[in-house]
Amino acid sequence: MDDKKIVIALAGNPNSGKTTLFNSLTGATAYVGNWPGVTVEKRQGTYRNKKTGETCEVVDLPGIYSLSPYTPEEVISRDFILEEKPDVVINVIDATNLERNLYMTTQILEMDVPVILALNMTDVLEKEGQSIDADELSASLGCPVVSVSALHRRNLDILITAALRAGRTSRRGYTVLENGKYKEIIAKARDIYEHRGVENPLYHAIKALENDEVELARRPEDVKEVRALLNNKEKEDFEADTADERYKYITGNYVKSRHGQKVSAAEKLTPSDKVDRIMTNRFLAIPIFLIALFLMFHLTFAEDFLYLGKMGVPFSTCFEGNPYFEGLFWTENGINSIGVIIANLVNGITGWIWGSIENGLTSIGTPDWAVGLLGSVINDGFFAVIGFLPQILCLFFFFSLLEDSGYMARVAFVFDRIFRRAGLSGRAFIPMLMGYGCGVPAMVNTRTLNTDKERTQTIRVIAFFCCGAKVAAVAAVAGVLAAKVGWNAELIGLSMYLVGIILAVAMVILMHWTTQREKVPPFIMELPAYHKPQWKALGIHMWDKTKDFVKKASTVIILAAVLIWVFSNFTPTWQYIPSLVDEFGEPLADYEGSILKNICQMISPVFFPLGFGNNLSGAGWSLTLASSLGLVAKELVADAFITIAGGADAVESMVLGTGITTGGLLAFLIFNLTTVPCFAAVATAKAELPKGQLKWTILFWLGTSYVVSLMVRLVFDYVWTLAIIIPAIVAIFVCAYLWYRHACKKEELAKLAREAN
């Protein structure tokens, strides 16, 4: 064991300080990936003792409450310990919640693995007038116990030294159930596994007696033989009885090491309890959250901070003598938010870089086509990705602040009751919410969800939320609609947000009743005490997300940019189309005669039923082009209109000149807001979805957006179709519900038959 680097696994309950301990131990050496075959985040790093030079590999296992197979995280944690065989497991314990945290400890101790307890947050316990005798607890548990403070980096070297010492000796698992009601049955079950040469026989024997799903799937014959040791009533009661025995043993044998008078919640409310009286109030919780949400997005995307411009502050005259930063910090319409300022700064820098490169290439006589191709790859590809990054990181930062402070746990708790009726837990609301900023981080955030089906449903409906990139398309079409029928442009924009929410809820219900049917997993969440964010941990988290985003997004967008440049700059006979020049001398793409225009005219009939296909005249093909470009990046939907029209001011007359109807315009907008998201989001979805689900998800996006857009077009152009569409929608939901009830009844009968056998 001295010839290889010792591997230490960190295991513990959520909010026990495990990740803080991991960050304190590994620092900049930490790196993030996915566990093989699943989308749950894997964190790994190296610990180095500067004094002794000792090093070891540290793996941060997902935070879980037990080793029962309710979530992927629990399966991952137990499989890593059992199959990857770390040299030692550090079980991180929240000292302020000793009884609850020690429940999983009793399960880990049943494995044949060296264990050491890290008694964390003892400083918080001391403030409450209590203490835990580590030596006394160690004697009761039969494993080393070290008091630490992960946040203040106290006793970390002592902890690792003890862990390395423990990792060099073998250990045989034992259970607190060995003297309980089922002691003889457990002993016989252990003998069965030992005789078959199974490693960790005690742990597997107890899991078999519990009829554990993972154990049953992997060793069905062993489980059948072990379960035969129980009578019918014991089979039903074993798991509940043993859970009760564990807690009684913890209270009677381990908790005695805690000293001092514990103040009950009835006698003293903590500051977090007092805050929660407001933050989780049944009437105030949702309005408070909506205000917090508004502030996050306002600080990230607003170009009129606090609406000072709309309130009449004359920015054009206020900064008349200092115009140098106009556009960066403010415009005549108002002050920019922090997210817009950073985005403007980054885009200005990248624009200057590309301008310098372009001028240099032109000065040495580089052909126009080569300059155009490099511009597509560098400026429209890589720099476009960098341009998304500032505002995405702003959202990451604000959401991380809320999460690290403990507030997001309250949000999930508040929304769980609403989402559970639709087939999702409260956790699903968080990534959906992030979809308003960008679908890429939203889909990554689905890793926190419990099951593959729950993640699949959530990723699919995230595409329906109006992200920041879709705002330009909404604004462009809303302006045309306002000119055509006199509607209020802001109300049109608001309605698009509402359509996304309503459609997401409806589709989740349909999926839950049909293809993604499952019992909603139990939502167990501790509401941690509010605390100050840990800035170092926030920095590491944001750096990880930045690398993840750039890696996944840039490669796809750069490839797409190259293909679009080729198709838009060559005719079908592969003749290069020179760029036009606008009134300011800037290059302007000429799509006339391009491969791209020809392709769009070929596929326009597909959109004929939606009202924006080959039934249009003039530049009607531009709507098909805009939808095609939107698959790369939704910003390109409005950009296509502006490019073809020759300027933003000409978009309205160009679109209206196609003869498009009100229903066709609305169908075009809804189709682009709800169809397949940008390539970056599709690439992220591929990484986060279960294997084989991407193709069905893409078909889901295309089918849903097409059908909904078709219904919208028909309703607004032919009102009488409501008499057909409404009954059809009702019939679909009724049939789906009846199928759901039939399938549930069938599964229940099958379960009873299996238990009878």
- Residue 541, token pair as written in the block: 């988290």
- Residue 557, token pair as written in the block: 């967008």
- Indicate whether 40 pLDDT > 60: no
Cα–Cα distance for residue pair 465/475, rounded to 1 Å: 16
Cα–Cα distance for residue pair 559/575, rounded to 1 Å: 22
- Indicate whether 182 pLDDT > 60: yes
DSSP state of 617: -
Place of tokens 């580089």: 366
Kindly report, residue by residue over 366-417, the tens digit of the pLDDT.
Answer: 887 788 778 767 776 667 667 767 877 787 788 778 877 878 778 777 877 7
Cα–Cα distance for residue pair 262/128, rounded to 1 Å: 8
Buried b / exposed e over 173-186, threshold 16 CB at 10 Å, is: bebbbeebebeebb
Nearest to 149 by CA among 24, 47, 15, 30: 24
Higher per-residue confidence, 267 vs 56: 56
At residue 525 the predicted structure's pLDDT band, cuts being 50, 70 and 90, is low
Cα–Cα distance for residue pair 749/548, rounded to 1 Å: 45
Contact 468/301 with Cβ under 8 angstroms?
Answer: yes
- Indicate whether 55 pLDDT > 80: yes
Cα–Cα distance for residue pair 30/58, rounded to 1 Å: 9
Cα–Cα distance for residue pair 494/647, rounded to 1 Å: 26
- Residue 675, token pair as written in the block: 């169809």
Nearest to 252 by CA among 92, 143, 102: 102
Contact 520/423 with Cβ under 8 angstroms?
Answer: yes
Strand order in the sheet with 31-34: 31-34, 41-48, 55-60, 7-12, 88-94, 115-120, 145-147
Pairing relationship of beta strands 330-331 and 334-335 according to DSSP bridges: antiparallel
Note the maximum CA span of the chain: 91
Confidence (pTM)? 0.61
Nearest to 269 by CA among 585, 549, 512, 529: 529
Cα–Cα distance for residue pair 350/607, rounded to 1 Å: 37
Sign of CA dihedral 635, 640, 642, 646: positive
**What does pLDDT average to over the chain?**
80
Give the pLDDT of residue 36. Answer: 47
Give the pLDDT of residue 320. Answer: 61
At residue 497 the predicted structure's pLDDT band, cuts being 50, 70 and 90, is confident
How many Cα atoms within 13 Å fall on the side-chain side of residue 534? 17
Give the pLDDT of residue 549. Answer: 63
Q: Decide: helix, strand or coil at residue 183.
A: helix
Residues whose CB is less than 8 angstroms from the CB of residue 707 and which lie 6 or more positions away in sequence, other chains included: none
Contact 222/192 with Cβ under 8 angstroms?
Answer: yes
DSSP state of 154: B
Residue type, 11: A
- Bridge partners, 154 (sequence order): 149
Residues whose CB is less than 8 angstroms from the CB of residue 303 and which lie 6 or more positions away in sequence, other chains included: 331, 333, 334, 336, 337, 340
Place of tokens 């108002």: 334
Contact 435/677 with Cβ under 8 angstroms?
Answer: no
Nearest to 71 by CA among 82, 63, 60: 63
Give the pLDDT of residue 58. Answer: 92
Nearest to 293 by CA among 388, 392, 396, 399: 399
Q: How many CB atoms lie within 10 A of CB 753?
A: 9
Phi, psi of 322 (to 5 degrees): -135, 75
At residue 556 the predicted structure's pLDDT band, cuts being 50, 70 and 90, is low
User: Which secondary structure element, helix H or strand E, spans residue 241, and what is its range?
Assistant: helix 232-249
Give the pLDDT of residue 589. Answer: 53
Share of the chain above pLDDT 90, in %: 19
Higher per-residue confidence, 406 vs 145: 145
Mean pLDDT confidence for 195-213 = 91
Distance of CA 474 to the CA centre of its chain: 25
Higher per-residue confidence, 518 vs 120: 120
Higher per-residue confidence, 484 vs 191: 191
- Residue 243, token pair as written in the block: 């859970």
Cα–Cα distance for residue pair 125/12, rounded to 1 Å: 18
Give the pLDDT of residue 279. Answer: 85
Give the pLDDT of residue 88. Answer: 95
Mean pLDDT confidence for 263-281 = 70
DSSP state of 326: B
Residues whose CB is less than 8 angstroms from the CB of residue 674 and which lie 6 or more positions away in sequence, other chains included: 463, 464, 499, 500, 503, 701, 704, 705, 708, 709
Contact 198/204 with Cβ under 8 angstroms?
Answer: yes
Contact 91/11 with Cβ under 8 angstroms?
Answer: yes
Q: How many CB atoms lie within 10 A of CB 322?
A: 9
Contact 564/633 with Cβ under 8 angstroms?
Answer: no
- Residue 519, token pair as written in the block: 């019992």
Report CA-CA distances (Å) from 587 to 21, 562, 563. Answer: 54, 18, 19
Higher per-residue confidence, 55 vs 553: 55
Contact 29/45 with Cβ under 8 angstroms?
Answer: yes
Kindly report, residue by residue over 630-674, the tens digit of the pLDDT.
Answer: 777 776 777 677 666 655 567 778 888 888 888 988 999 899 889
- Bridge partners, 326 (sequence order): 330
Mean pLDDT confidence for 123-133 = 81
Where does 7-167 sit in CATH, by number? 3.40.50.300
Cα–Cα distance for residue pair 376/381, rounded to 1 Å: 6
Cα–Cα distance for residue pair 690/141, rounded to 1 Å: 40
Kindly report, residue by residue over 576-594, the tens digit of the pLDDT.
Answer: 777 655 555 555 555 667 8
| Angle (nearest 5°) at CA 657 between 652 and 661 | 90
Cα–Cα distance for residue pair 80/70, rounded to 1 Å: 16
Contact 1/86 with Cβ under 8 angstroms?
Answer: no
**Is 742 buried (19+), middle (13-18) or exposed (0-12) by CB count in 10 A?**
exposed
- Bridge partners, 92 (sequence order): 12, 118
Pairing relationship of beta strands 55-60 and 7-12 according to DSSP bridges: parallel
Kindly report, residue by residue over 111-122, the tens digit of the pLDDT.
Answer: 999 999 999 988
